[in-house]
């Protein structure tokens, strides 16, 4: 018996900037997960992942991440994705706050 599909978003890292990005319904990339395309169909999700993987000059490490539909759009369901939403942690200008030393 096959496992029930859980909703997803396509995510990757921006090739030049390195930060987390999500694919929108129009095939563009956003740094706001709430603007990501919410994928509820396995075949459509795989097609969107293939589209992402066809952009090696723009992104790196594309994959399907579990998501839930929140008040403002897709939201992460796993702590790893929650961490990625808050941005890089290795810069003093990150969304995680300034580091005490660098």
pLDDT at 34 over 70: yes
pLDDT tens figures, 48-92: 999 999 999 999 999 999 999 999 999 988 878 877 887 665 555
In a domain, 75, yes or no: yes
In a domain, 79, yes or no: yes
In a domain, 70, yes or no: yes
Enclosing H/E stretch for 12: strand 8-14
pTM (predicted TM-score): 0.81
Instruction: Return d(Cα 34, Cα 19) in angstroms, integer.
Output: 16
- Domain span at residue 70 reads 65-89
In a domain, 78, yes or no: yes
In a domain, 77, yes or no: yes
In a domain, 72, yes or no: yes
In a domain, 49, yes or no: no
In a domain, 69, yes or no: yes
Domain count, the chain: 1
């Amino acid at each position: 018996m096959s496992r029930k599909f859980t909703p997803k978003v396509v995510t990757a890292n921006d090739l030049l900037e390195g930060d987390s990005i999500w694919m929108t319904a129009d095939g563009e990339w956003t740094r706001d997960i709430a603007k990501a395309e919410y994928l509820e169909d396995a075949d459509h999700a795989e097609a969107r992942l293939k589209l992402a993987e066809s952009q090696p000059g723009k992104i790196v490490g594309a994959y399907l991440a579990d998501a839930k539909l929140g008040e403002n759009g897709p939201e992460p369901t796993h702590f790893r994705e929650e961490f990625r939403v808050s941005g890089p942690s290795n810069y003093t200008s990150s969304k995680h706050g300034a580091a005490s030393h660098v």
